[in-house]
Amino acid sequence: MPGSMKGGGRERTARPATPPKTTERKDAPPRGLTYKDAGVDIDAKMRAIQRIRLIARGTFKKGVLTEIGSFGGLYDLTAAGPFRRPVLVSSTDGVGTKLKVAIQTRNHKTVGMDLVNHCVNDILVQGAVPLFFLDYIAMGKVEGEVMLEVISGLARACRDAGCALIGGETAEMPDFYKPGEYDLAGFIVGVVEREHVIDGSRIASGDVLIGLPSSGLHTNGYSLARKVFFERRSLKPDSPVTELGRTVAEELLQIHRSYLPVLRGLIASGVLYGMAHITGGGFTDNIPRILPRGLSARVDVGTWPVLPVFRYLQREGRIGDEEMYRTFNMGIGMVLVVPLHREEEVTAHLDKMGEKHYRIGEIVRGNRRVIYAPGSPAEPARAGAVPAS
């Protein structure tokens, strides 16, 4: 039999033949590159999007005609209500370097709410209520859990505003963002009846300014605030600040509040002649945006309680008054312009809603600017309003 020896010899198994050596050709083409080799994991992105679809679907309402993932979001305007002359109002924004604080603390649950509420307020000042919202998230590498936290915040704020989250974009851009960093932007569309558009054209000398309190920095002035807290004072996000009654991160991540719930009931009445959302540019740059030619706004400093965080920042950063009022909201997130003869109607509504409010100045003759003047000690605009803490 093969592999054996006869003549008293021992049977043995033949050793397998050694395969001939092969030499790899030096000119063989390298393995083909994939998008994943370049740092973009499409599969991971699609897995995250599948989970996002379920979150976004929870915000859908009558009028939404497409699912998340379509090339464009469709919305049936007739579902918005029986408008005679509907006017669409759109806006876009971000949350600035507040994202730096969220990334530092690994707390991504509220920046989505900040973004939606900021955009809702921006169209509210023209009398619009939101219809739908889209987001844009850009990352160096898709991190599914971070995305889900951000989107969950977006969806929660959209539900609160009666706004559908109908789409968005997730961009994965290796080498563009540092590991763990991302950017966030939002796009909102709302609607208002043509006759209810608030454009400031009715504002006249003698109208009063009513301020509604902010919840903190909202989404503006963070580059300066971070410089004071983290560089000038060498604090950490988890450092407690006795004067503020909370840690630095807790203060800086206070949610940008929405004014829609307390103001939407006043839109159709025509009582609001103008509104200014106090964002980047503070009082100095935002109030003039709604003023007709020949008018200015006198802001009576001291007529509302300035939040402790702003006093802290001014003192520790040695920031001048002019810079403070042009960078921060100083405790007032929305300014209403109301004719004197209807002021009581507005304040009665705000009292009924449990909303704090302060008369902070009036419209005067001038050249579309803010004039700062000393005012009386901070008091509610009408009895019944509770001073902000």
Task: Determine contact, residues 191/83, Cβ cutoff 8 Å.
Answer: yes
What is the spatial distance between Cα 334 and Cα 42, in angstroms, rounded to a whole number?
42
What is the spatial distance between Cα 367 and Cα 345, in angstroms, rounded to a whole number?
29
What is the spatial distance between Cα 288 and Cα 325, in angstroms, rounded to a whole number?
13
Would you state the pLDDT for residue 39?
77
Co-location of 180 and 216 in the same domain: no
Q: For 35, list phi and psi in degrees, rounded to 5.
A: -60, -35
- pLDDT above 80 for 370: yes
pLDDT of 190-218, one tens digit each? 999 999 999 999 999 999 999 999 999 99
- Average pLDDT in the chain: 89
Q: At what angle do helices 111-124 and 98-105 cross, to 10 degrees?
A: 160
Co-location of 212 and 336 in the same domain: yes
What is the spatial distance between Cα 171 and Cα 281, in angstroms, rounded to a whole number?
30
Output the CA torsion 360→332→123→348 (10° steps): -60
Say if 1 falls within a structural domain.
no
Say if 379 falls within a structural domain.
no
Would you state the pLDDT for residue 10?
38
Say if 203 falls within a structural domain.
no
CATH number (domain holding residue 89): 3.30.1330.10
Say if 388 falls within a structural domain.
no
Co-location of 53 and 113 in the same domain: yes
- For the record, the structure tokens of 258 come out as 């929405």
What separation in angstroms does the CA of 293 have from each of 65, 179, 195, 305, 365?
43, 49, 22, 31, 9
Task: Determine contact, residues 165/189, Cβ cutoff 8 Å.
Answer: no
Co-location of 230 and 167 in the same domain: no
Looking at 196, 220, 246, which one is the last position of a domain? 196
pLDDT of 52-100, one tens digit each? 888 888 899 899 988 887 889 999 999 999 999 999 999 999 999 999 9
CATH number (domain holding residue 333): 3.90.650.10
Instruction: Name the strand (E) or helix (H) holding 117.
Output: helix 111-124
Task: Determine contact, residues 266/272, Cβ cutoff 8 Å.
Answer: yes
Number of domains the chain is built from: 2
Task: Give the CA count within 13 Å in the CB-facing half-sphere of 179.
Answer: 1
- pLDDT above 70 for 15: no
Co-location of 369 and 232 in the same domain: yes
Mean pLDDT of 176-188: 94
- pLDDT above 90 for 4: no
Sheet hosting strand 274-277, strand order edge to edge: 274-277, 332-338, 208-213, 358-365, 295-301, 370-374
Strand 86-94 and strand 164-172: pairing? unpaired
Beta bridge partners of 15: none
Task: Determine contact, residues 349/265, Cβ cutoff 8 Å.
Answer: yes
Buried b (16+ CB within 10 A) or exposed e, 326-342: bbbbbbbbbbbbbbeeb
pLDDT of 282-291, one tens digit each? 999 999 999 9
Q: At what angle do helices 42-57 and 144-161 cross, to 10 degrees?
A: 20
- For the record, the structure tokens of 155 come out as 């969806």
Co-location of 186 and 323 in the same domain: no
Mean pLDDT of 288-295: 97
Q: For 384, list phi and psi in degrees, rounded to 5.
A: 110, -25
Nearest alpha-carbon partner for 200 in 368, 357, 350, 329: 368
Task: Determine contact, residues 122/93, Cβ cutoff 8 Å.
Answer: yes
pLDDT tier at 5, thresholds 50, 70, 90: very low
pLDDT tier at 24, thresholds 50, 70, 90: low
Instruction: Name the strand (E) or helix (H) holding 52.
Output: helix 42-57
Co-location of 368 and 272 in the same domain: yes
What is the spatial distance between Cα 42 and Cα 48, in angstroms, rounded to a whole number?
10
**Rounded to an integer, what is the distance from CA 243 to the centroid of its chain?**
27
Say if 153 falls within a structural domain.
yes
- pLDDT above 70 for 21: no
Say if 6 falls within a structural domain.
no
Co-location of 225 and 166 in the same domain: no
pLDDT-above-70 percentage for the chain: 89
pLDDT tier at 26, thresholds 50, 70, 90: low
pLDDT of 324-344, one tens digit each? 999 999 999 999 999 999 999
Looking at 196, 224, 253, which one is the last position of a domain? 196
Task: Give the CA count within 13 Å in the CB-facing half-sphere of 302.
Answer: 6
- For the record, the structure tokens of 120 come out as 């809702």
What is the spatial distance between Cα 49 and Cα 29, in angstroms, rounded to a whole number?
36
pLDDT tier at 25, thresholds 50, 70, 90: low
Domain that includes residue 106, residue range: 38-196
Co-location of 89 and 191 in the same domain: yes
Co-location of 213 and 182 in the same domain: no
Would you state the pLDDT for residue 67?
86
Co-location of 192 and 70 in the same domain: yes
Looking at 142, 162, 196, which one is the last position of a domain? 196
Nearest alpha-carbon partner for 202 in 88, 335, 338: 338
Mean pLDDT of 121-145: 95
Nearest alpha-carbon partner for 158 in 106, 119, 122: 119
pLDDT of 248-271, one tens digit each? 999 999 999 999 999 999 999 999
pLDDT tier at 378, thresholds 50, 70, 90: low
Co-location of 159 and 235 in the same domain: no
DSSP 341: G
